Structures are given as C-alpha cells and as structure tokens.
Structure 1
C-alpha cells in the first residue's frame, strides 16, 4: 500500500509548528514563514494575531522548500535576501558574508573616533555587502566614505545597497590598500580572520571562503593591513580591525610592533574582545 503524503498545514499556527517539528529553530521558522506569506521579518507579532488564518498551499510549498535549504545549513539571511545591520536593511546573497551584529561594535567605535572631526575621510576595507561603509555614511552624512573589495561580485552587492539606500559611498575594486588614497581619519576593516584548519569552517560552507580564511593562524590579512595602514592614515588617524574571539592579544601586539599608539580592544555584546585598534601619530 502506498503511504499517504503528509497533509499540508491548514493554518498559520500549524505551519509554524510543522516547521519547528522539522528541526528548524523557532525564530528562523517564524522569519521564513513571514517571508513565505509576503510579510516583513519584523512582523512576528502578526503571526500571533493571525495564528488561525488559513495558509495557502503555495505559501506552504514555498516555506517547505526554504526549510529544506535552512536545514542544509544555508543562512536565513540568504533565504530572506536581506539582513538588518546598524538600523539599515541590506540586501545580501551568497556573493557576500552575512553581516553580523558583532560588527556593529566596529562601527560604533569608528563613529566615536570621528567625533569632533569635520568632513572626515573614512575607508572600509573588504566591504562585502557594504555594511560598515553604509552604516558610517548613514550616521555621518558629512563624511567622505570610501570602500574597497577585491571581489567584483561583492562590490555589485554593495553598490546596489548604496543606490537603494541613497548613500554616496565611493566603491573601488582593490586588494586591501593597493592604490588607496591617504589622509583617512579612520580605516576600518572586518577582514578574513579564520584559520585554514578551523573546525567551524564546515558550518560556514555556504558563505564565500575568500572572505573568511586568512592563512594558518587567521592573521595573514590583518598583518598586511597593519603593515600598510599608516601610509594611508591622517595624523592622529585610527586603524580599527575586527578579529576572532581569541585573537585580540595577537592583534594588539601587531599594532604595537608597527608603532601604533593607544592600542586597545573593544568588546561586543557578548563581552568578547571583538575589535582592536590604535592611533597613528608621526610626532611621538
């Protein structure tokens, strides 16, 4: 006897329960259900108010396909096509890393470094989706914000985000500081910082490896940025770097060895030393 196919959920609440029963995290299931229903991701209260509403078969089919992709490890942001970062809604896909809340620590620090500076110049290295550059430009309309990435695909995503958000960031394709201008008040970067053999890499297989891995210890790109950064900073300019949860001491040592002053680290919302930086002064 041929087994009967499972009955499709009839209501919003049943669809959510079915999604969770398949092993998807409840929050992820809520976001994907809202997406399948054509609603905004912040509209979770709607699910409670309309839990007895009927769900169309087409919506369930769409949700079911998305759940399968999520269970295979694909980030929710790729499935939704967007991610909120520092108050901005950014479009993202597999060409760029998903912006993480941890990186908002870097943005907030950069904004502090820009306080009291009129029309400052800022550079975002390895911009990806444009998250850092766009957040800084949004917060400081008077700033001239430049952003570079070695990936043409990433730049296409970033430029589209800038155009949609109407933020005048200047984008260019380059490998880190190759061909960059000088006189920046802040250079900020969230570079690759995962070691080549890190056991967490398989969980990130859907995101671009070139934006994740940086040599045997994860510090190859940070070393290059620290080495070359001073040539592009204004007097008293800051170099700010995001790094791994256990890399702060090593990054501070690199900055101090290069001659940066006031070298320090900042913690993210979890209390982890997530960013390190220093100020460049030619007059000691």
Structure 2
C-alpha cells in the first residue's frame, strides 16, 4: 500500500477537496484499496513534462483518458491509478495538465501488460488507456503539474520515513547473515555494515527535520540521493556477506522454474533501479544545483 498510503493520501490532504478526502482516505487507511502511479510514458520519463496521454471532458464532470503509461509499479494489483494527463488541447510542457483519479476495473478500456524484469518478477507494467473514464481531477483542471510535483516531493522526501521501516528490517537481515557466515569478522565488511547503519540514522533525521520545512526545493532531492545509493549498497552487501552461496539459486533446478531468487538476490538486482525511478540521480543533482545553489541551468 505504499503508493496509496505515502504518496496519494498526503497529496489528497494537501490538494484534494473535502469530498475526495472523505471518499478515498478511509479505504486507503484500512488497506482496502491499492493505488498505482500513472506518470512515466515511453517518451516521457525523467522529462515528465513531455507526456502525451490526453483526457477530454465527458459531459458528466469526468474525463475520458486515452494514452499509454509505462513503468507503472504494481498496476496489475491496483484498484485505482492517479494519472497525469493533458486536458488542454494544444498545450505543451507543464501547461494544460491535470491530475486525474482513474478506477482500474474498466474492462476493454484499460489494459495492463506486465514487464518481466531481470529479477524474474513483474512489478513494473505498461498500461494502455482506451477511452477510460476518470471521475475527478485533484487540484482542479489544468493544475496537474503543481499537484504532480507536490507528490514527487513526498515520494523523494518524507515518504521515506515509512520506507525506512523496511530498510531497517533489510539491514538487520544482512547483519544477521554476516554473523552467520562469519563475514562480520572481516574488518572491511564490518566497517561497511556500520556505515550502512549510520547512514540510515542520518536519513531518518534528515526526513524528520524536513517535515517542518515544506516547500524546500532541495530537501526531497537530497533525500532521494541519500536513500537511492544507500539501498543499492545494501543490496550489494546482502549478496557479498553470503559469499559464494549468494550467487547460487535454490535446488533442484528445473526447466519450468529456471531460477528463483532468494530475498538477498532480489534485493541486489531490484535496487539497481533505485537511482533511476522517481527521478534519476542526475535529475536530483540538477535540481539542487539550479534551484538551491543558483548555478547556471544545464544546456538543453
């Protein structure tokens, strides 16, 4: 429920109407509805302002959505999707966009195609909207860019307070494995484990401190840079502390199940994406350089 609980819910509190909050927040809090995020497209990933998915008024106060999204996490399980779409014909870049709420159970109007990853699983998906109905826009029509950026600030920043519950569990499992295999006796590996712990404490304190400074343009980008690289290094350690066994899959092998990753291997492979999704490290450094430090904009 991370996407609904930690991304959409606080966004609705900040930008939604009272009716939208009453309708969607209780089932999110009860774990009854799962959400996915309809932002990236084949030609618009880190450059989100280039989206081409369109939505037109349907005459009932809602919208008809047509287009394609990609890298949509857990769309195959989601009940709802928040979709950034172009509602003003002829608009370009961040103008004329709206933040729409779309129910996923619309047979014939929404198709979800899983994307098989190197982990062997399919958390990411392609989603095709063919005249799908969106009942409402959050923040009003044409204000989608402001709402979308507000949500991304939450994703990159304070939402990591919830993610850190999982980070703590993963770190503890890596430390336990290091003790069990004897890897913790290696002073270099032990120092790396201590550093992971210290950086996790630092990330939590940074997230707590920035809770009181909403609107700080650099804080979410700093947080994203911190946790993305940290999680990748944890994945590397998860495999390394297990030695040769860290590279071997479960037995017996079979053609029907050519390989199945254990949790450490899945962590290692999946975290390769941490410095890309949610805005790549390069994007975060540009935000800090241009909006906080006042450096010249990168040539386009």
Normalised by the length of structure 2, the TM-score is: 0.25
Higher helix fraction: Structure 1 or Structure 2? 2
